Amino acid sequence: MERYHVRLGQRRTTVSVDKIVSQYLSLHLGTTPGTLAAHTAVRAWLQSRIDLNNDPGRIRVSQWLLAEALDAIVGPNLREAYACWLDIMISATKSALAAEPIAVSLRSTARGSAANTTSKGSIFDAD
């Protein structure tokens, strides 16, 4: 993990970024990973993300900045594929929530192996 000192409103804080993410971000910013210039560029970029959102009460800053860094690093094709997948997952979740709840249970087949089946009863119902 790489550590960067940033300001969150009036307070100073330290954020941790996985080393490989830090290296990818430094390359994205046009610097050589592992150099002082790279560390400075990544720290400045992280600070700019914090300043752009101007939320001094933010919690879980390292996790939020990780998502920001990944979004900056990935290309448009991967970003579009992720957006499509996310739309599908949200639609499926909404559909599932609107449908009648169905419990899933494992039932024995004739060969003695288990197969996934559904029933309207409890998952603890006896076979």
- Using an 8 Å Cβ cutoff, are 85 and 36 in contact? no
pTM attached to this predicted model: 0.65
* C-alpha–C-alpha distance, residues 46 and 27, integer Å: 14
DSSP bridge pairs for 2:
17
Which pLDDT score, from 0 to 100, does residue 107 have?
53
Question: Which domain does 37 fall in, by range?
Answer: 2-73
In a domain, 84, yes or no: no
In a domain, 15, yes or no: yes
- Using an 8 Å Cβ cutoff, are 69 and 29 in contact? no
* Residue 7 pLDDT class (50, 70, 90 cuts): very high
pLDDT at 115 over 90: no
Which pLDDT score, from 0 to 100, does residue 33 have?
96
In a domain, 88, yes or no: no
Mean pLDDT to the nearest integer, 25-34: 96
In a domain, 119, yes or no: no
In a domain, 6, yes or no: yes
Please give the tally of structural domains in the chain. Answer: 1
* C-alpha–C-alpha distance, residues 1 and 15, integer Å: 10
Mean pLDDT to the nearest integer, 9-19: 92
Which pLDDT score, from 0 to 100, does residue 47 have?
95
In a domain, 27, yes or no: yes
In a domain, 25, yes or no: yes
In a domain, 97, yes or no: no
